[in-house]
Amino acid sequence: MVGPANGGRIPRQVLSVVNGGQELGNRAGPGSVSGSDCGGFEFSREDVESLLNERIKTKAKDKFNFKEKCEVMTDYIRRLRNCIRWFQAREGDLLLQLEKHGKLLESAEKKCNDLEMLMSEKEEELNSIIMELRKNCIALQEKFAKEESDKLAAMESLAEEKDARMSAERSQKSILEELERAQRESSSANQKILSLNDMYKRLQEYNTSLQQYNSKLQSELNQTNEILKNAEKEKVAVLENLSSLRGHCTSLQDQLAATKASSNETTKLKEALASEVGCLRLDLQKVRDDRDRLLSQVQDLSAEVLKYKEWTGKSVAELGNLTTKSNVLEATCSSQSNQIKTLQEKLAAAEYKLEMSDVSAFEIRSGYEEQKRVNSDLQLRLAEAELKLIEGESLRKKLHNTILDFVLPQELKGNIRVFCRVRPLLFDDAAENEPKTVSFPTTTENIGRGVEVFQHGQKHSFMFDKVFVPESSQVEVFVEVSQLVQSAMDGYKVCIFAYGQTGSGKTHTMMGTPGSFDDKGLIPRSLEQIFESRQTLQNQGWKYEMQVSMLEIYNETIRDLLTINRPGSTESGTKQYAIKHDANGNTYVSDLTVVDVRSSREVSFLLNRAAQSRSVGKTQMNEQSSRSHFVFTLRITGVNESTEQQVQGVLNLIDLAGSERLSRSGSTGDRLKETQAINKSLSSLSDVIFALAKKEDHVPFRNSKLTYLLQPCLGGDSKTLMIVNVSPAPSSVNESLCSLRFAARVNACEIGTPRRQTSSVKQLDARFSYG
């Protein structure tokens, strides 16, 4: 290819032509040189070629577009031609129409002139009307102005009314809201009323069902009481039967033994007689042999005599000798015959005797067999009776611990029950001329349960589970608690404590008068009952082990009352006894002496020993006042191997130190300290009881040794009885009221539910504990 003569460069003007007259300055790439710098040769050949190619491409595109445009234009021209043709065809019609329209236009012009005339007339008319209207308008404007002012006033009043209406609307709205609320409330109240009615109905139904249940319970109770009575009667009858059977059995056994002895004797006699008969038979044989021998001798001698008689020549002397010899022999022979006779008689008698003894031996043997049969019969009946007794006893236990507790509601009202005992007036009380301060209501519902105290002419009434009047004996008090004591044998933790002011009769109630049969207190009586019942239950396969410990809490210090102090030893006084509760709810005191006991006599001995170690002192109110809390604990472990049952009961009997007011007790020095310690621990006891009653999260058991020791009895699952002792002395009325108020609050408490501690024999835990 031949390029331009300027070395392949194309002048800018040429490019401009190629490019359709467009300037290419703005297309210059990097490295291009401006025209002024290069004397008109600005672009390279390649650039131009690419530009040309581009231009060719656009031209080709434009050509294509132009073609399209041509086609459109051709079509357009064709349609225009069609139109022209159509117009040419319609030209005549259109001319005719034009003419018609000219005429019409003329008539219209005419009409228009007429109308103009009419219009001018009308204009005049209208002008007059307008004038009139203007006048009217002015009048109307005046009226309008008036109306306007009226309107303004009306608007103002309207605005006022609007405000009023708004406020009325607002108040209406609020009233409506209130109404709505009231309606809602009313509907909810209605609903409530409905639900209350429903609830009332349900309550009524519940009430009737409760009443039915109550009457059912009552009838069940009556039935159970009947059953209990019958069981008791049966038990008594069985016991009587058993004892008579036992008596009969022992007499039969005695008879049997006597019969056996007489049978032995008879056998021995028979054997002696048999040996005697043997001897006699031997003798007889001997005598018979002798007799035979002698007879043969006599015969020989007789033959000799005959021979001698024949012999006449023999001497007479010799003959005489022989005769005497023969006589002697005959005499011997006859005496021996006699002997034989007597021996035969003796033998016959012995043989008769032997026969008789054989008969009597047979009779005795048959009698013995008969006795044996009767005896086994009796043994069977005895076993049956014992079985019945066991069943009766277990029924008693069941009834006692479920139904009785349900009815006399230790389990319904919690584990604390309260008895009150008012002691008789003592000589020291010196109240002869003073009016009585304590009395007992006699109404049916209060009798035996109510007590009234009069202070400054005002009556204060109290109700407890049981109230003992001054005339009540120790036995009467014990009868009421004996069932509770029995519970300890059945595996319950039982705690009985006496509370009251100093000199009110706590020690009398708990310990009584030592050595007196009638005045024995709860502790010795309980122990007697427990050991008696241990004896009875032994026949049913129960084996009980008892352990005793006794301690006192004096000035917040524990003292072991069973420790054997050598003279001068202060071991017990210095030892630190720690109260511990383990994970199983058992409480024990470290290092405390625990003694195994087998009889109530052993316990009495220990009680005497403890009584000698107790801290007692004299106060203005009591000659022999207990200055410490005395805690007697009997742990009972019973195992029945035949039924594989095991029970663990604890009996805590507590004689609390007397509450007293410092002013009245006349305490000073050590006594004052004692009294303060006593009062502190008693107030801790009341704090604990009230915290439990209120079901508070924290119960201050640790505030005193007494409450910490009794923690399982107070807060746990034990059966607790508080006996509040009251003095009827008018001088003690304030203290009596305090004690009774405290007891009444305790009585109203509902704490815990008693639980029996039973397990299988394998789970036996022999450790000593308080609860």
Ligand X SMILES: Nc1ncnc2c1ncn2[C@@H]1O[C@H](COP(=O)(O)OP(=O)(O)OP(=O)(O)O)[C@@H](O)[C@H]1O
The residue ranges that bind ligand X (CB under 6 A) are 423-424, 426, 500, 502-508, 622, 624-626, 657-658, 725
Does the annotation place 758 within a ligand binding site? no
Does the annotation place 500 within a ligand binding site? yes
For 456-491, give the secondary structure using H, E and C.
CCEEEEEECCEEECCCCCHHHHHHHHHHHHHHHHCC
CA atoms of 768 and 637, how far apart (whole Å): 10
Q: How far is the CB of 472 from ligand X (least distance, A)?
A: 7
Q: How far is the CB of 595 from ligand X (least distance, A)?
A: 25
Q: How far is the CB of 563 from ligand X (least distance, A)?
A: 22
The four Cα atoms 559, 563, 567, 569 give a dihedral, to 10 degrees, of: -50
Phi-psi region of 7 (alpha: psi -120 to 50; beta: other; left: phi over 0): left
Q: How far is the CB of 512 from ligand X (least distance, A)?
A: 9
CA atoms of 383 and 387, how far apart (whole Å): 6
Closest CB to ligand X among 25 and 424? 424
Does the annotation place 503 within a ligand binding site? yes
The four Cα atoms 488, 492, 495, 496 give a dihedral, to 10 degrees, of: -50
For 685-699, give the secondary structure using H, E and C.
HHHHHHHHHCCCCCC
Q: Which residues contact 310 (CB under 8 A, 6 or more apart)?
A: none
Q: How far is the CB of 768 from ligand X (least distance, A)?
A: 27
Does the annotation place 149 within a ligand binding site? no
Does the annotation place 535 within a ligand binding site? no
Closest CB to ligand X among 355 and 623? 623
Q: How far is the CB of 247 from ligand X (least distance, A)?
A: 40
Distances 351 to 270, 276, 341, 343 between C-alpha atoms, Å = 11, 10, 15, 12
CA atoms of 274 and 280, how far apart (whole Å): 10
Instruction: Give 636's strand partners.
Output: 546, 649
Closest CB to ligand X among 121 and 476? 476
Instruction: Tell me which residue of 616, 643, 641 sits closest to 630, measured CA to CA.
Output: 616
For 248-272, give the secondary structure using H, E and C.
HHHHHHHHHHHHHHHHHHHHHHHHH
The DSSP annotation for 481-530 comes to HHHHHHHHHTT-EEEEEEEEBTTSSHHHHHTBSTT-STTB-HHHHHHHHH
Do 635 and 650 form a contact (C-beta atoms < 8 A)? yes
Q: Give the relative orientation of helices 522-538 and 474-489 as an angle to the nearest 10 degrees.
A: 50
Structure tokens given for 700: 């201050």
- Residue 6 is classified by DSSP as T
* Backbone angles phi and psi of 422, in degrees to 5: -105, 125
Does the annotation place 253 within a ligand binding site? no
Does the annotation place 502 within a ligand binding site? yes
Beta strand 438-439 with 493-500: parallel, antiparallel or unpaired? unpaired
Place of tokens 């009615």: 197
CA atoms of 426 and 454, how far apart (whole Å): 19
| Cα angle, residue 726 at apex, residues 723 and 729 outer, rounded to 5° | 170
Residue nearest to ligand X according to CB distances in the complex:
658
CA atoms of 415 and 504, how far apart (whole Å): 25
Do 554 and 628 form a contact (C-beta atoms < 8 A)? yes
Does the annotation place 224 within a ligand binding site? no
Do 692 and 751 form a contact (C-beta atoms < 8 A)? yes
CA atoms of 408 and 449, how far apart (whole Å): 13
Residues belonging to the binding site are 500-507
Binding-site residues for ATP, in ranges, read 500-507
